[in-house]
Amino acid sequence: MSVNKVVLIGNVGKDPDVRYLDSGVAVATFSLATTDRAYTLANGTQVPERTEWHNIVLWRGLAQTAEKYVRKGDKLYIEGKIRSRSYDDQNGIKRTIVEIFADNMEMLTPRSASQQGGGYASQAQTAAPQQAPAQASQQQQSADSSLTDDLPF
Protein backbone atom coordinates (compact mmCIF):
# COMPACT_ATOMS: atom_id res chain seq x y z
CA MET A 1 0.00 0.00 0.00
CA SER A 2 1.19 3.55 -0.66
CA VAL A 3 -0.16 7.05 -0.12
CA ASN A 4 0.48 10.17 -2.20
CA LYS A 5 -1.36 13.01 -0.46
CA VAL A 6 -0.41 16.65 0.01
CA VAL A 7 -2.18 19.23 2.17
CA LEU A 8 -1.10 22.87 1.81
CA ILE A 9 -2.31 26.19 3.18
CA GLY A 10 -0.58 29.12 1.58
CA ASN A 11 -0.78 32.30 -0.47
CA VAL A 12 -1.20 32.46 -4.24
CA GLY A 13 1.94 33.85 -5.88
CA LYS A 14 0.39 34.90 -9.20
CA ASP A 15 -3.03 34.95 -10.86
CA PRO A 16 -3.89 31.53 -12.27
CA ASP A 17 -2.90 30.86 -15.88
CA VAL A 18 -5.94 29.07 -17.36
CA ARG A 19 -5.82 27.22 -20.68
CA TYR A 20 -8.48 25.21 -22.44
CA LEU A 21 -7.55 22.01 -24.25
CA ASP A 22 -9.03 21.21 -27.69
CA SER A 23 -11.55 18.99 -25.89
CA GLY A 24 -12.76 22.01 -23.85
CA VAL A 25 -11.18 20.83 -20.58
CA ALA A 26 -9.84 23.71 -18.45
CA VAL A 27 -6.37 23.54 -16.87
CA ALA A 28 -5.16 26.19 -14.40
CA THR A 29 -1.62 26.59 -13.08
CA PHE A 30 -0.25 28.96 -10.45
CA SER A 31 2.30 29.08 -7.65
CA LEU A 32 1.47 28.80 -3.95
CA ALA A 33 3.81 29.95 -1.16
CA THR A 34 3.97 28.28 2.24
CA THR A 35 6.10 29.88 4.94
CA ASP A 36 7.65 28.44 8.09
CA ARG A 37 8.01 31.13 10.74
CA ALA A 38 11.36 32.24 12.10
CA TYR A 39 12.21 31.00 15.58
CA THR A 40 15.00 30.91 18.15
CA LEU A 41 16.41 27.66 19.53
CA ALA A 42 16.99 27.14 23.26
CA ASN A 43 20.73 27.81 22.77
CA GLY A 44 19.97 31.22 21.20
CA THR A 45 20.50 30.22 17.57
CA GLN A 46 18.05 32.04 15.31
CA VAL A 47 16.43 30.09 12.49
CA PRO A 48 15.18 32.43 9.74
CA GLU A 49 11.79 32.36 8.05
CA ARG A 50 11.66 29.95 5.11
CA THR A 51 9.27 30.18 2.16
CA GLU A 52 8.64 27.19 -0.08
CA TRP A 53 7.03 27.63 -3.52
CA HIS A 54 4.70 24.96 -4.94
CA ASN A 55 3.46 24.59 -8.53
CA ILE A 56 -0.30 23.93 -8.40
CA VAL A 57 -2.27 22.34 -11.27
CA LEU A 58 -6.08 22.36 -11.30
CA TRP A 59 -8.31 20.58 -13.81
CA ARG A 60 -11.89 21.01 -15.05
CA GLY A 61 -14.29 22.59 -12.54
CA LEU A 62 -11.54 23.53 -10.10
CA ALA A 63 -9.68 25.32 -12.91
CA GLN A 64 -12.81 27.25 -13.86
CA THR A 65 -13.41 28.21 -10.23
CA ALA A 66 -9.82 29.41 -9.94
CA GLU A 67 -10.18 31.43 -13.15
CA LYS A 68 -13.19 33.27 -11.70
CA TYR A 69 -12.23 33.71 -8.05
CA VAL A 70 -8.54 33.09 -7.28
CA ARG A 71 -6.17 36.06 -7.36
CA LYS A 72 -2.58 36.77 -6.36
CA GLY A 73 -2.27 37.03 -2.57
CA ASP A 74 -5.35 34.91 -1.77
CA LYS A 75 -4.99 32.29 0.96
CA LEU A 76 -5.94 28.78 -0.21
CA TYR A 77 -6.29 25.30 1.23
CA ILE A 78 -5.15 22.71 -1.31
CA GLU A 79 -5.34 18.91 -1.18
CA GLY A 80 -3.79 16.84 -3.92
CA LYS A 81 -1.04 14.56 -5.14
CA ILE A 82 2.64 15.18 -5.90
CA ARG A 83 3.59 14.55 -9.51
CA SER A 84 6.97 15.06 -11.12
CA ARG A 85 7.88 15.22 -14.77
CA SER A 86 11.05 15.75 -16.76
CA TYR A 87 11.74 17.65 -19.95
CA ASP A 88 14.69 18.96 -21.96
CA ASP A 89 15.04 22.75 -21.94
CA GLN A 90 16.10 24.91 -24.90
CA ASN A 91 19.77 24.14 -24.21
CA GLY A 92 19.18 20.39 -24.08
CA ILE A 93 19.55 20.23 -20.29
CA LYS A 94 17.21 17.76 -18.59
CA ARG A 95 14.93 19.54 -16.09
CA THR A 96 12.55 18.08 -13.54
CA ILE A 97 9.49 19.89 -12.26
CA VAL A 98 7.41 18.92 -9.24
CA GLU A 99 3.72 19.83 -9.30
CA ILE A 100 0.76 19.42 -6.98
CA PHE A 101 -2.28 18.09 -8.86
CA ALA A 102 -5.12 19.40 -6.70
CA ASP A 103 -8.17 17.27 -5.95
CA ASN A 104 -9.70 19.80 -3.58
CA MET A 105 -9.40 23.55 -3.07
CA GLU A 106 -10.96 25.83 -0.50
CA MET A 107 -10.65 29.58 -0.55
CA LEU A 108 -9.73 31.00 2.85
CA THR A 109 -9.57 34.70 1.93
CA PRO A 110 -12.79 36.58 2.73
CA ARG A 111 -14.36 38.56 -0.09
CA SER A 112 -16.02 41.95 0.36
CA ALA A 113 -19.71 42.31 -0.46
CA SER A 114 -18.91 44.31 -3.60
CA GLN A 115 -16.79 41.53 -5.13
CA GLN A 116 -19.12 38.51 -4.85
CA GLY A 117 -22.36 39.56 -3.26
CA GLY A 118 -21.06 38.88 0.27
CA GLY A 119 -19.78 35.89 2.15
CA TYR A 120 -16.83 33.70 1.28
CA ALA A 121 -16.10 31.79 -1.89
CA SER A 122 -17.26 28.25 -1.31
CA GLN A 123 -15.33 25.00 -1.42
CA ALA A 124 -15.00 23.35 -4.85
CA GLN A 125 -14.06 19.82 -5.78
CA THR A 126 -13.46 18.30 -9.20
CA ALA A 127 -15.99 15.52 -8.65
CA ALA A 128 -18.76 17.78 -7.32
CA PRO A 129 -21.14 19.63 -9.66
CA GLN A 130 -20.54 23.37 -9.69
CA GLN A 131 -23.18 25.72 -8.24
CA ALA A 132 -24.00 29.14 -9.51
CA PRO A 133 -21.94 31.75 -7.58
CA ALA A 134 -25.06 33.49 -6.22
CA GLN A 135 -26.50 30.20 -4.96
CA ALA A 136 -23.21 29.19 -3.32
CA SER A 137 -22.89 32.65 -1.76
CA GLN A 138 -26.42 32.45 -0.28
CA GLN A 139 -25.74 28.99 1.16
CA GLN A 140 -22.44 30.15 2.66
CA GLN A 141 -24.06 33.25 4.18
CA SER A 142 -26.75 31.16 5.87
CA ALA A 143 -24.10 28.72 7.13
CA ASP A 144 -21.96 31.61 8.44
CA SER A 145 -24.90 33.22 10.25
CA SER A 146 -25.88 29.94 11.93
CA LEU A 147 -22.31 29.51 13.18
CA THR A 148 -22.14 33.02 14.67
CA ASP A 149 -25.55 32.88 16.39
CA ASP A 150 -24.15 30.79 19.26
CA LEU A 151 -20.99 32.82 19.84
CA PRO A 152 -20.76 34.48 23.28
CA PHE A 153 -19.32 37.73 21.94
Q: Which of 12, 15, 17 is nearest to 34 (CA)?
A: 12
pLDDT of residue 75: 96
Kindly report the CA angle at 20 between 88 and 102, in degrees rounded to 5? Answer: 75
Torsion angle (degrees, nearest 10) of CA 71, 109, 124, 69: -30
What's the pLDDT score for residue 151? 45
Profile the chain (153 residues) by mean pLDDT over runs of 10 residues.
Answer: 96 96 95 93 90 96 94 96 94 95 93 47 42 43 46 45
What pTM was computed for the model?
0.69
pLDDT for 153: 40
Identify which of 74, 66, 59, 52 has the alpha carbon closest to the alpha carbon of residue 20.
59
